[in-house]
Structure 1
Amino acid sequence: MQAKGTYNNQPVTGTMIAGTLLPLRNTAQRYPLDLSLANGATHVSLIGTVQDPLSFKGANVLLTLAGDNMADLYPLTGIPMPATPKYRVTGRLAYAHQSIEFTNFHGLVGNSDLSGTIAEKPGAILTNGTSKPTVRMNLMSRRVDLVDLGGFIGTKAGGEHEAGATAAQRAKIAASEARSPNLLPDKPFNLPKLNAANIYLHYKADSIEGKSMPLDDLAVTMDIVNGTIHLHPISFGVGTGRIIGTIALTPVSNKLIHAVANVSFANVNVSKLMAATHMFRGAGLLQGKATLNATGNSIASWAGNGNGGLVLYMTGGNLSALLVSLSGLEFGNALIAALGLPEQTDIRCFVGDFALDRGIFDTRTLLLDTGTAVVRGEGTVNLKNERIDYRIQSKPKHFSIGSLPAPIDITSTMKKPSIGPAKKPLVERGIAVAVLGVIAAPLALLPTIQLGVKDPHACQDLVTEAETQDRDDKPGQSVRPVAHAAPVRKVAARPPAPHGNLTTSALNRQELKKVQHQRP
């Protein structure tokens, strides 16, 4: 038998070689079957025998699926699949327990191996003539490149091995992405396909590989029932620790999804995170929790209108550079030098406490207490337009002369941040030095004196609050009055830094007064 035509707006061709017609009803004799089908870039082949061909029972058939994108399988199978790079999988096809079963299959999706079992039970025919099948998947990978799973999270899947793309096409895609001002994925989710089947998935990846990838393994349990997605949980291994999330995505209209997410960070290895930069080293275990409650149709829209919070904390450890270097920001070395941090320093503690309010990511506390200095951060990140307005400042712990560490401003966009010393405080202190030099040379030394930070309790209190927020699932929310944790100023108005408009004598008196009382 041969077939030719159009299906799903794609050309379709098929060839089948099978037994004669008379033995179709003879279940005592196995019926041979050899089918090849091509629909666009998707290729399907069935080779084997069937005991009862009219009911497809007693099948001993080898099924091979191959194509440029697993999403193209939806018209053929009725199972909604995410976009993927090129794939090829082979396994056994059978009909049992009123389900079509694809068992013991194995193959490749992009650069990742994939194996497991898929069972599809057809649903009852509805009044509109459609049906909703129930699909159960038990899948695993020995090695997975997360770029191959980009379609699952709303980003472009496949990277350099994108479906059928030539070198010129890949270059064009890369140029287009480079021109985009946005960093967060804004690809909308396809809601009708989410409601096409009820899906129950268990997936495990023993090893995660990829450029600058700090994750070790992945395990996820996911249900899609009547269009609502539940991940309970999704879990990544990071060294000896894990990042674990429970996420619910509920459609509220044809275009919008309500997202509720809770993510915990348990003993996450800083050494693993720092190694991903290929530049810096560090040690310590990171703890914390994040929450999100938002409505939208993409990751970018959820971030742009969401509410929630993030708290991260760590006691003890070692860091060879400022943690901000993890984000791949430019001028990282200049930033570290401007803050006066050494190449290698012990960490007494780190606390990051942030609130998300309708897309504005605001700092409640950012404190890094090292062996030589205390680093504080303040400001906001507007996730609606991806604009950054942030300031970081370092204060030495010990008396020093000749150091002029200015605040560091991080501005512009998330995709292309601008980092550099805050010019205004630096210029004003420079003028003070010049004026004093004219009046009396010895007095010109006063603005360059760093008197040091003395506050042994601030970090302990902040870590205690962070632990409480973590335990109570309320990151970004104050759980009790905490000494030494007063809110810092907002950066948006850009007032002068503390010494910026003081006279020399007032500056000196203020610095001397703070010797015993100044907070880090």
Structure 2
Amino acid sequence: MDFNAFTARFVSSGREGWRRMTRSRRVRWIAIASASLLLLLVLLLGAFPVGMAKGWLERKLSSELNAPVSIESLGREPFFSFSPTLVVRGLRIAQPDWAGPGELLRAQDVRVRVALIPALTGSGRAIRGIHARGALLALVRDENRRSNWSGERDDARTGSGGASSIDLADLVITDSRFTLRDARRGLEIAGTIAANATTGLAARATGRFHGEPIEASVKGAAIAGRPAGAAYPFQLALSSPLLQLDARGTMKGALNTSDMAMTMSARAPTLKYLDDIIEAGLFGTQPIDLRASVRRQGQDWFLDRLSGSVGRSRLTGRAEILKREGRSKIDATIAFSQFDFDDLADDAGLAAQAALEARIGPRVLPNTRINLAKVGPTDGTIRFTAARLLFKSPSVFRSLRGKISLQGKVLRLDDVEAGLSSGRLTGRLLVDHREGESPRLDLDLRLRSGRLGALLDMTEQIDAPVNARIALSGRGDTIRAALSKSTGHVGLAAGEGRISRTIAAVLAQDMGKAIGAALGDGDAPVPLRCIAIGFRARGGMLTAAPFLVETEVSRSRGEGTINLDGERIALRIGGASRESSGLPMVDPLGLEGTLSAPSLDLAAGRKGDGGGVAGAVVRSIGGALGLVDKRGPAVDASGPSNCRALSERVLARGLPERP
């Protein structure tokens, strides 16, 4: 078949069919009716009498804002346009009942230019411009974060968290004022707001911030004639004795706070005052001086660079806070060139800590709060390093690093490594608050490669390699409370080294050799074979088992307890010389006092009954004469001790990994 001929016949038959169809009266009427209806819809869209919608609009706004809304008149300009200007005159929006009497907004007239096609299709810039005159805006927010502009808790909202994505082409505001009463932030200000095509946007206000004076200002470039999505520069400043805050940057489109980048600087007596403004869940600290490069994209925040100081601590870092499925996902890295733990408390917190210490005495166990009941929908990971640790009194701790992970009500501190004056402390910490009124604390730490003399600040008297392990688990709202009820094990093991002759003689409970060493060369070293000390923990009570100190000339064993609830020490140490001088100490040595202030008693249990050195000497003479029996742990110094097995035993017991 000739293809060209076939094509010609096909086209010809198609034309003939179309002519027959268009000659049909019914088809013509359908086409005319459809075109007329479409034209009518277009005309109605372009000239819709919006005044007829006044009642509907009042009811709709009243329902949305949960407060009465009234409009004197509603019109449009011009009569026909697909980008009309809606003219609202005499707009009044009452305060919701909880916010008190008065009006949230009163405006003489508001003109809003709307692009109808984008508004109906949901694409492109719908609101092209706003002109407002004679407006008075009264913003109110209560302690529970309920605001009259959102009608609910700010943190209960979804989406962008209330951020504006408006990209206006024009904004004019004249003869307008505003007030803000924010009980949550402790902020109350009043001021003016204006905008035009010449000077741009400007808002200025004065008032009180936690009772102290404050000045606030917001500035933005002119909006008129700016292309959609074009960079829009802005700046914000707060000035108060309690906070100096400056932020300046650009938005992607006018007033589009959901897509912006800025640099910020803040100075305040405590981080808490900055948190009152940004509401990131931060805490009280020593004075801050911080700088940051910040971006916001939709719901997400990015701190690309953070630097500055908190008290004596100096830091740099970066962070990102993502909003996903109603939860905040944090990923951050913070590096301190120097860090002081006291900088993480404000003056009120330090005063409360000092008052507690004055009432109960100094404590070693930290009173850090670990209750996670009030932790919001936040997950995240923070990696931290502190190259140098600062303390107001001498400490064996030199540096610190680790990783903090929070998932729901479970907080983990992993990969912990603390550099000490000798050795390093590694391990992990777990806080699990998925059940119970108080969280469970798991603490599993190991000391490795330490030197005993350096850690005790007794390098002249003793030196030996030392390792230790702390594996405790308990429930409580603070670390101190949890450990005071904990179970588990604590162990310390020191290998071969040296110890002064005087200390060896005292540990051997050999009065004759102790006196001889004191009168002679008491600092002369004696070989130290091992130290193996273990404690079994039950209900916060540490019970010694075993307790061995082995030197070339003596052997000592101990018994007793350390009560973590109060940090009281009650240990008794007995010893024996391998070659006795014949003048033994009758009474055991007593290691007493507290973890923060331990004391050694040469006559344990003899308070007010011939205690002291003189009494110990007298009783030693009596013991040598067989007149006084020896008290305390019985010790046989003959034969070897299995130091290695004991050392491995006291260090072997850790805590199981929990999901």
TM-score normalised per structure 2:
0.56
The alignment status of 1:457 with 2:640, answered yes or no, reads yes
The alignment status of 1:245 with 2:457, answered yes or no, reads no
Q: Secondary structure at the match of 2:651?
A: helix
Q: Which residue of 1 aligns with 2:464?
A: 284
CA contact (8 A) 1:191 1:255 kept: no
CA contact (8 A) 1:339 1:406 kept: no
Correspondent of 1:195 among 365, 372, 376: 376
Distance in 1 separating the partners of 2:517 and 2:284: 47
What letter corresponds to residue 306 of structure 2 in structure 1?
F
- CA-to-aligned-CA distance 1:102-138 (integer Å, 9 cap, x gap): 12211111211111101111243xxxxxx43111111
The alignment status of 1:139 with 2:334, answered yes or no, reads yes
Correspondent of 2:573 among 392, 399, 417: 392
Note the C-alpha offset of 1:386: 3.6
Note the C-alpha offset of 1:174: 3.7
Distance in 2 separating the partners of 1:436 and 1:338: 15
Distance in 1 separating the partners of 2:327 and 2:480: 30
Q: Which residue of 2 aligns with 1:353?
A: 534
Correspondent of 1:85 among 274, 281, 286: 286
**Structure 1 residues 57 and 239, CA, compared in 2 at 3 Å: closer, same or farther?**
same
What RMSD in Å do the two structures reach over aligned CA positions? 4.0
Q: Which residue of 1 aligns with 2:590?
A: 409
Correspondent of 1:16 among 214, 218, 236: 218
Provide structure 1 residue ranges, at least 5 long, that are not aligned to the other structure: 125-130, 150-156, 324-335, 438-442, 476-520
The alignment status of 1:177 with 2:360, answered yes or no, reads no
**Structure 1 residues 95 and 392, CA, compared in 2 at 3 Å: closer, same or farther?**
same
Distance in 1 separating the partners of 2:502 and 2:182: 59
1:44-443 to 2 correspondence within 5 Å? 44-56=245-257, 59-71=260-272, 74=275, 76-96=277-297, 99-124=300-325, 131-149=326-344, 157=345, 162-163=346-347, 174=354, 177-181=357-361, 183=363, 184-186=365-367, 188-210=369-391, 211-238=393-420, 241-253=423-435, 255-275=437-457, 282-319=462-499, 342-343=522-523, 345=525, 346-402=527-583, 404=585, 406-411=587-592, 413-414=594-595, 419-420=600-601, 421-422=603-604, 423=606, 430=618, 433=621
Distance in 1 separating the partners of 2:265 and 2:339: 21
| Higher gyration radius (CA) | 2
**Structure 1 residues 24 and 287, CA, compared in 2 at 3 Å: closer, same or farther?**
farther
What letter corresponds to residue 348 of structure 1 in structure 2?
R
Q: Secondary structure at the match of 1:143?
A: strand
**Structure 1 residues 81 and 293, CA, compared in 2 at 3 Å: closer, same or farther?**
same
Query: How many residues get paired?
Result: 428
Q: Which residue of 2 aligns with 1:6?
A: 182
CA contact (8 A) 1:10 1:39 kept: no
Distance in 2 separating the partners of 1:381 and 1:339: 33
What letter corresponds to residue 312 of structure 1 in structure 2?
L
**Structure 1 residues 356 and 206, CA, compared in 2 at 3 Å: closer, same or farther?**
same
**Structure 1 residues 3 and 24, CA, compared in 2 at 3 Å: closer, same or farther?**
farther
Of structures 1 and 2, the one scoring higher in RCO (CA 8 A, sep 6+) is: 1
Note the C-alpha offset of 1:396: 3.0
**Structure 1 residues 227 and 432, CA, compared in 2 at 3 Å: closer, same or farther?**
closer
**Structure 1 residues 177 and 22, CA, compared in 2 at 3 Å: closer, same or farther?**
farther
- CA-to-aligned-CA distance 1:82-120 (integer Å, 9 cap, x gap): 543222210211125862111221111121111110111
Q: Which residue of 2 aligns with 1:34?
A: 235
CA contact (8 A) 1:319 1:347 kept: yes
Distance in 2 separating the partners of 1:55 and 1:311: 60
- CA-to-aligned-CA distance 1:362-398 (integer Å, 9 cap, x gap): 0002222234433332201222344332213343333
CA contact (8 A) 2:492 2:650 kept: no
What letter corresponds to residue 219 of structure 1 in structure 2?
R
Q: Which residue of 1 aligns with 2:53?
A: none
Distance in 2 separating the partners of 1:319 and 1:432: 24
Provide structure 2 residue ranges, at least 5 long, that are not aligned to the other structure: 1-176, 188-208, 504-512
CA contact (8 A) 2:530 2:549 kept: yes
Aligned-pair identity in percent equals: 17
Distance in 1 separating the partners of 2:536 and 2:384: 32
CA contact (8 A) 1:390 1:409 kept: yes
Moved more, 197-206 or 313-322: 313-322
Note the C-alpha offset of 1:230: 0.9
- CA-to-aligned-CA distance 1:429-458 (integer Å, 9 cap, x gap): 946956998xxxxx89999xxxx9644521
- CA-to-aligned-CA distance 1:176-205 (integer Å, 9 cap, x gap): 522224724446434244334112110011
CA contact (8 A) 1:268 1:285 kept: yes
Distance in 2 separating the partners of 1:411 and 1:39: 52
What letter corresponds to residue 450 of structure 2 in structure 1?
V
Note the C-alpha offset of 1:36: 1.8
Distance in 2 separating the partners of 1:5 and 1:337: 76
**Structure 1 residues 268 and 3, CA, compared in 2 at 3 Å: closer, same or farther?**
farther
CA contact (8 A) 1:339 1:407 kept: no
What letter corresponds to residue 473 of structure 2 in structure 1?
N
Distance in 2 separating the partners of 1:179 and 1:379: 27
- CA-to-aligned-CA distance 1:396-416 (integer Å, 9 cap, x gap): 333324453742224455556
What letter corresponds to residue 218 of structure 1 in structure 2?
L
- CA-to-aligned-CA distance 1:450-486 (integer Å, 9 cap, x gap): xx9644521xx243133145346379xxxxxxxxxxx
TM-score normalised per structure 1:
0.70
CA contact (8 A) 2:493 2:650 kept: no
What letter corresponds to residue 331 of structure 2 in structure 1?
R
